[in-house]
Amino acid sequence: QIKDSATSTRDVLEQHFSDLKGTLKKLLDERLTSLLQEVDVIEQESIKPLDECQKLIEHGVSTADDLLREGESAVDGDVGQQNEKLGNFTKKALHIQLDSLPEVPSLVDVPCLSAQLDDCLLTILKNQIFRHGTVASRPPVQLEEFVEKPGGILVRWCKVDEDFTPQDYRLQFRKSPGSPFEDVYVGSEPEFLVLHMDPHVDYQFRVCARGDGRQEWSPWSVAQTGRTTLVPHEWTTGLEGYSLSSRRNIALRNDSQSCGVLYSKAPTYFCGQTLTFRQTVGQPDRRDSLGVCAEQRNGDESLQRDQAVCVSTNGAVFVNGKEMTNQLPAVTSGSTVTFDMEVVQFGPCSNEGGNFKLRVTISSNNREVVFDWVLDQCCGSLYFGCSFSYPGWKVLVF
């Protein structure tokens, strides 16, 4: 683990700083190009009037030089030609302004380019670079526990760095070592139930955290393997009044007038586990029920019957068809109803008969009721079921 994590950390650091070098070089090259272009623009705009002034002066000097040679030629000729040449010279000289010069910009108006480079940039970069990046020898959070659930795993983690104050956690998992990790949860809770997992298959998990007020995530925890041996809870198919999701763990009461109890596909609930229903509410009815039973029984409209325990959507609790005095709050959208059971056995226990008692705890909206449920035979596993009189109810079971 130490060698693998050290090798991985070296690779990450080398790649990160290599990327930084490339990016910094690109940014510096772009800045240099921009400054050189700025020098070119200033040079071209500033030298243009000086070039024009120089051309005018050179033209005037050339014209004066030509006129001088023409005057010398007029003086050197014979008398007859002198008068004519001198006349032409005089006329030409009167039309040429030899005493005027173009306006030359003053020295203070002529640009003098220079590069202004502040050395403090190097100091700033040096300070930032020396503080950039850290090497952590121990992540601040680690995976703590995997709890098997039907078709899922409850993953718990804990903080191992007392000086670290977490704001959010990030849980990832993958099905095989060669596949990439995927986000499965981001939030403030230190546990998460991962559903839709195949039984008897190893999954790898890892978790990291984000410190209070920080944007970056901490290093990942050591990856650990978890699995579930429990098959997922599924509703049975084929009942006219209910539509099921593709994984058959969500049941929707549809518009069909047909009514009855929707049971689980198999008796997949075992004592010692927690059975959870999460629902979206529709119009309630006193006959509605969510609960557990010893066997499937066709023809019933509700689980408010013998060999079953259930809670109605108004919070009433029924044991073997009899309503209890204690009640739970009415079911609301997004709330959960949980069933927990443990065996309390009296007398002989056999398929031929005898007393078999289960201690049942039903919880909903931060309240719970506890009671004993007596069955006429041992039940190693139980069915779950639901019934709703009106459409719009949706129940997820896990």
Buried b (16+ CB within 10 A) or exposed e, 221-231: bebbebebebe
Distance CA 344, CA 271 (A): 11
Residue 11 in this model has a pLDDT that exceeds 80: yes
Mean pLDDT confidence for 99-109: 65
**Is 397 a residue whose pLDDT tops 50?**
yes
31 class by beta-carbon count within 10 Å (0-12 exposed, 13-18 middle, 19+ buried): exposed
Q: pLDDT, tens digit, for every residue of 315-335?
A: 999 999 999 999 999 999 999
How many residues does the structure list for the chain? Answer: 398
The domains of the chain are located at: 1-131, 141-228, 242-397
Asked whether the predicted pLDDT for residue 362 surpasses 70, the reply is yes
Residue that the structure tokens 């190893």 belong to: 202
Q: Report pLDDT for 259.
A: 83
**How far is the C-alpha of 163 from the C-alpha of 156, rounded, in Å?**
20
Q: Which CATH number fits domain 141-228: 2.60.40.10, 2.60.120.10, 3.30.70.2860, 2.10.69.10?
A: 2.60.40.10
CA distance 345 to 358: 8
Mean pLDDT (whole number) for 70-83: 69
Angle between helices 79-95 and 2-76 (to 10 degrees): 140
Q: In angstroms, rounded to a whole number, what is the distance separating the alpha carbons of residues 208 and 19?
A: 24
Per-residue pLDDT, averaged over 340-364, amounts to 76
pLDDT of amino acid 281: 93
Angle at 376 between CA 375 and CA 381, to 5 degrees: 55
How many C-alpha atoms does 195 have within 13 Å on its Cβ side?
11
**CA 51, 57, 61, 64 torsion: positive or negative?**
positive
Superfamily of domain 242-397: SPRY domain (2.60.120.920)
- For the chain, the C-alpha Rg in angstroms (whole number) is 46
Instruction: Determine the pLDDT at residue 299.
Output: 86
Q: Is 313 exposed, middle or buried (0-12, 13-18, 19+ CB in 10 A)?
A: buried
Q: Identify the pLDDT of residue 266.
A: 93
- List beta partners, residue 253: 242
- pLDDT for the residue 81: 67
Q: pTM score > 0.85 for this model?
A: no
Distance between CA atoms of residues 365 and 338, nearest Å = 10
| Helical (H) or strand (E) element with 156 | strand 152-159
- Among the ranges given (81-85, 111-115, 219-223, 376-380), the one the predictor scored with the smallest mean pLDDT: 81-85
CB atoms within 10 A of CB 285: 17
What value does the mean pLDDT of the chain take?
87
203 close to 153: Cβ distance less than 8 angstroms:
yes
Tokens of 178: 């060669």
Phi, psi of 163 (to 5 degrees): -85, -5
Contact 217, 138 (CB under 8 A): no
Q: pLDDT band for position 136 (50/70/90)?
A: low
